[in-house]
Structure 1
Amino acid sequence: MEEIQKWLANGYVNNTEILSKSPSDLSSSATTSTSQETHSARTLCEDTSFNSLGSSSCNNYTGCPIQAKPSSISHFCIATLGTLTPQISCLAVQNTTLYAASIKEINVFDLISFELVDAFGPGLGLVKSIAFSDGKIFTAHQDCKIRVWKQVITSSSKQKHQLISTLPTFKDRLLNCMFAKNYVQVRRHKRQLWIQHADAVSGLAVNNDAGLMYSVSWDKSFKIWQISSDMHCLESVRAHSDAVNAIIVNPLDKTIYTGSADGYIKVWRKPDGRKKHQLLTAIAKHKSSVNALALTRDGSILCSGGGDKKILVWEKGNENYQNHDHMFVSCCLKGHGGPILCLVHVNGVLISGSSDRTVRIWKYGKGFGGSCLAVLEGHSKPVKSLVGIPGADLNDSLRVFSGSLDGEIRAWKVIISDESD
C-alpha cells in the first residue's frame, strides 16, 4: 500500500521505478484488507476548516510581479463521498453524473443527490483517466489497456455500465499481426504491435468534433484513435524520452499538448495534407516532471503543473494564438508545498491539486498577472484529481470536486466576485 501511494502521489518519475513490478503485482498489493470497507452514505461535511485568502494578502504567493484584479471569495465543503476502496485516482463528470475511479473499481455518483448509483470495472486495474464521446465511456488503465463502456438502463430503471470493447480491438490486432512491419521494439527482447501501449495508459483526451481520441502512456508515446465509427488506432508517436503524464487537445485548431517526466511540454499538430502529426515546438521551464496540463476554452493560454511545486502559465507568441514556435511563460504561480498533481480551468479561474493535500484557486490574466484566491483544506493525503462545474446561477459560481489518495471525494461550493462589482 505504501509503495503504490508513493508513486501515485508523486507522479511517474522514471521508467525504472515501476518496471520492476507488474501492474498486477501493484494492484493486488494495494487492494488487500479492503473487503470490510463499505460505501459511506451522503454526508454533509461538518468540518468547514479552510483558509480563504484575498488576492492582495496571499502570503504564499511569490509568482507574478503584477497582482490580479481584486476578488472576494467564499467557499465551503458541502459533502464528502466515500468509496469501497481507498485512493481516488481519477474524477470525471458527464452531465449530472460523477465518475470516481479508485484502486478496485469505478464508482458513479448522482451530482444532485450525491448517492451512489453504480459501481463497475472491478479487478481491471487502476484507472488513470476517464473520457467521454458519443455515449461511450473510455477508461485508461495501468494494465496498458483502454476499455470502452456504455451505459444501460436495467428493467428496474437502474444505471448499469457494460463493457463493449477493449482498445486495441480484436479486429485491429488481427489486421496488424500478420505483417512484421507492424511490430516495434518496446523492451529488450520484446516486440509488440505498434497499436498497443507497452506501459500504463496515463491520460486520455477527446476531440468530439473530429471523432478522435488521444492516449498517452508511460511507454513515452501517444496514440491517435478513430472512435466515431469503427474504433481503431490511426497513428502512434514516439513523443518523449520519459513517461508521458498528461495530454490535452485544443479542438479549435487540433493542437495537442503533451507533458512528460522528462520535464518537457511538446506541442503537436497534423498539417493539412499530411498523414502524421508533427512536432511544432518543445518547451521546458519546469525543473522536474510535468504532471498536469490545463487549457483555456479559447486555447490562448496553457497552464502546466510540475513536480517542482510550480504552476506555469504559457502564452503564444502572437495575438491570433496561432504561433506555437514561440511560447513564453507569462506567469509563475507558487504556493503549493508539494508537486502539482492536477489542474482544471473553470469559470475564468484555475484550480490546482497537490501532494501537499490542498486545493488552491488561482486567478490570473493577460496584463495583470495572478494570485492565489483561496486554499481548500480537509484531505489527509495527496489530491490526485479535480473536476469543476460552472454554477447554475450568479450566486453559485462553481462547484469543485476533489479526489484524494485518502479515499474521499470532497464537494466544494465556491463563490467568486470582483470587489469592484
Structure 2
Amino acid sequence: MFSEDNSVHKFSRIKNTNLLDEDDEIYNTRNRQDQLLSNSNASSPYNDRSSSSPMDKSPWSSQTNVNVPFEDIDDNFSDNVLMGSLVREEGHIYSLATSGDLLYTGSDSRNIRVWKSRREFAGFKSNSGLVKAIVISDDRIFTGHQDGKIRVWKVSSRDPSVHKRVGTLPTMKDYIKNSMKISNYFEVKRHKNAVWFRHYDAISCLSLSEDKTFLYSSSWDKTFKVWRVSDCRCIESVIAHDDSVNSIVTGFDGLVFTGSADGTVKVWRRELQGKGTKHFFSQTLLKQECAVTAVAVNPDTTVVYSGSSDGLVNFWEPGNLVFSGSADMGICVWRRMGMDHICLSLLTGHNGPVKCLAAERDDESAATERRWILYSGSLDKSVKMWRVSENSVPVAWKGCASGAPIAIPSSLPAAPSFEARNRVDGIQN
C-alpha cells in the first residue's frame, strides 16, 4: 500500500564496471608510515619487507593537505568540509565498510585495505580479484567476490593489523557433501544445472541481520541466499527476481529488501518455521523499466531508499493505516500512532474467515481526504471491496474505549505496507 508524490530533486551519478577474478592468497601489511618511522630499529619486524609482496608499495596515497581553503569557508558551511582524500593510483573502488575507527576498502586489484585515521593500517589479498562487497561482524570480515564466493577473514587477537582467511562460503566440506545429492541441483540455463547453496554468478551485495545471526548475499544469478553465521552454512536460497539482484539490505521487524536490474524493489519477511527460518515474499514497492542499483534502510525511522540507473532515488516510510483480517470474519482498520495503534473501524460482511487483503489508493478521493480501496478475500467464496478513509473517527469495539491506543496484534498476517513519499533525481552508485 503506497502512493507517490511528484516532488523531485537532482543529484549526479556514475556508472558501474565489471571485472573477473580468481582464488585466494593471504598477505599482511603494516601502516606504511609506521614502517618508515621504525627504520632505525634493526630488530623491528616491520623492516623486513619482502620484495615479492604485492603490498610492498601502497597503491594509495593519503592526501590530507588538499587545496581547500578551510579558513576562508563561510561559517554557515564550516561543518561540511573535506577532511582528506585517499587517492587510488590503480584500479577501481567497489566496496567500503567501517568498524569503529577503521575503514575497509575493496577493489579490483584483489587488495583489501584497512585504514585508520586516514593512514594505511593493514591489508590482505584475495586472488579471486574484484571485491564487490564487505561486511564486518565483530572480529570477522566477510567479502563477496566476482566468482560467486564469500571469503571469511578473521582479525588476529594478538595483532589487530593481521588478517587471516579462515574460510570460504560455501565450505569445501559442505560443497562436496551436498553436491552428491541430485535434489540439490536446479536448472539455471538450458542444459546447465547448479547447486542451490552456491552462487553461480557474481555476488553483488552482502548484509547482516540486526542480531548478526544471518548473513545475506545477493547475486547476478537472480537469487539471494541466507547463511547462518555460527557455522557458515547456507540455510536458504530464494529466487527473488527476473534479473540480477543488485542490492540486498536487512531492515526492521525481520524484513529484507532487495533491488534488481529488473526494475523492482521487493520486501521479504523472515518467519520462524520449527527450528529454522524461512523467507516469504511480502510486497513489491517499486516496478519500473530501469534497473534498481542500490537499496538502503534507516532502521530508526523505518525509511527505505532505492537508487536507479535513471538517476532517481525513491523512498518509502510505513503508512498510517494497517488492515488486519481475522478468522472471526471481521476486518479491523488501525491507525498507526508511533508504536501504538488505534482501532478506527471494524468492517463486517463476510460469512467466513478473512484469508487475504489488498489495498490501493483511491484516485477519486479529494486532496483533503486520503482514502483507500480495500479488497478482502474470504473462505465464504467472496471478494468484497471497501472504501476506507484515514479521517475516520476511532470507534469503541470489544471493550476498547474509543480513541484508546491498542497494541497491534502479533498475529497480523502481513508485513507493514510502505508509502512512497518522494522521488529524488540522481544517485551515485
Range of TM-score over shorter length: 0.5 to 0.7
Q: Alpha carbons of 1:247 and 1:117: their partners in 2 closer, same or farther (altered >3 Å)?
A: same
Structure 2 partner of 1:241:
242
Matches of 1:312 and 1:168, distance apart in 2 = 34
Structure 1 length as normaliser, TM-score? 0.63
In structure 2, the CA distance between the partners of 1:325 and 1:46, relative to structure 1 (3 Å rule), is: closer
Shift of 1:38: 4.5
Gap change, CA 1:46 and 1:10, over 3 Å in 2: closer
Distance (Å, rounded) in 1 between the aligned partners of 2:174 and 2:302? 36
Give per-residue Cα distances to partners, 1:103-146, cap 9 Å, x unaligned: 1133434432x211222124222111101123210000011100
Q: CA deviation digits over 1:380-416, x for unaligned, max 9?
A: xxxx4xxxxxxxxxxxxxxxxxxxxxxxxxxxxxxxx
Would you say 1:268 and 2:268 are equivalent positions? yes
Local SS of the residue matching 1:173: helix
Q: Which has the larger radius of gyration?
A: 2
Q: Is the 8 A contact 1:40 1:82 kept in 2?
A: yes
1:209: which partner in 2?
211
**Alignment partner, residue 218 of structure 1:** 220
Counterpart for residue 297 of structure 2? 295
Check conservation: 1:152, 1:162, Cα contact below 8 A. yes
Give the secondary-structure state (helix, strand or coil) at the position aligned to 1:132.
Answer: strand
Q: C-alpha displacement at 1:78, in angstroms?
A: 1.5
- C-alpha RMSD of the superposition: 3.1
SS in 2 for 1:214: strand
Q: 1:75 aligns with which of 75, 80, 100?
A: 80
Aligned to 1:175: 177
Contact 1:225 1:231 (C-alpha < 8 Å) held by counterparts:
yes
**Preserved contact between residue 107 and residue 131 of structure 2 (Cα < 8 Å):** yes
Kept in 2, the 8 Å contact 1:205–1:249? The answer is yes
| Shift, 1:217, TM fit | 0.2
Asked if residue 190 in structure 1 is aligned to residue 192 in structure 2, the reply is yes
Find 1:136's aligned residue among 137, 140, 163: 140
Q: Matched residue pairs, number?
A: 292
Question: Is the 1:137–1:148 contact (alpha carbons within 8 Å) kept by the matching residues of 2?
Answer: yes
CA contact (8 A) 2:154 2:165 kept: yes
Which blocks of at least 5 consecutive residues in structure 1 are unaligned? 1-7, 13-17, 26-33, 55-70, 341-353, 355-383, 385-421
Q: CA offset at residue 287 of structure 1?
A: 4.3
What SS class does the counterpart of residue 273 from structure 2 fall into?
A: coil
Mark the CA change 1:106 to 1:237 in structure 2 (over 3 Å): closer, same or farther: same
In 1, are the aligned partners of 2:107 and 2:132 still within 8 Å (CA)?
Answer: no
Residue 42 of structure 1 corresponds to 62
CA–CA distance in structure 2, aligned partners of residues 280 and 208 of structure 1: 19
1:104 aligns with 2:109: yes
Indicate if the aligned counterparts of 2:313 and 2:423 stay in contact, CA closer than 8 A.
yes
1:32-55 alpha-carbon deviations (Å, 9 max, x no partner): xx99984344322423389xxx9x
> Residue deviations 1:13-69, cap 9 Å, x none?
xxxxx7xxx8249xxxxxxxx99984344322423389xxx9xxxxxxxxxxxxxxx
**CA displacement, residues 300-337 of structure 1 (integer Å, 9 cap, x when unaligned):** 21011111111111122233689646322101223x3x
Correspondence for 2:420 = 329
Q: What SS does structure 1 have at the residue aligned with 2:80?
A: strand
Judged with a 3 Å threshold, the aligned counterparts in structure 2 of structure 1 residues 35 and 214 are, in CA distance, closer, same or farther, namely closer
Aligned 1:107-118 pairs, distance under 5 A: 107-112=112-117, 114-118=118-122
Aligned residues of 1:286 and 1:306 also touching (Cα < 8 A): no
Q: Is the 8 A contact 2:21 2:130 kept in 1?
A: no
Task: Provide the rounded CA distance (Å) in 1 between the counterparts of 2:145 and 2:69.
Answer: 35
**How far 1:73 moved relative to its partner?**
6.7
For residues 106 and 177 of structure 1, what CA distance do their matches in structure 2 show? 31
TM-score, normalising length: structure 2: 0.61
The whole-number CA distance in structure 2 between the counterparts of 1:78 and 1:90 is 20
1:256 aligns with 2:256: yes
Q: Which runs of 5+ in 2 are unaligned?
A: 1-12, 23-53, 321-335, 340-411
Alpha-carbon distance in 2 for matches of 1:170, 1:11: 31
3-state SS of paired residue (1:237) = strand
Match for residue 317 of structure 1 among 316, 319, 325: 319
Offset of residue 272 of structure 1 = 3.8
State the secondary structure of the residue aligned to 2:177: helix
Distance 1:314 1:285 in 2: 14
**One-letter identity of the residue aligned with 2:102:** T
Cα distance in 2, alignment partners of residues 268 and 295 from structure 1: 14
Residues 35, 118 of structure 1: alpha-carbon distance in 2 compared, 3 angstrom cutoff = closer
SS at match of 2:176: helix
Paired-residue identity, % = 33
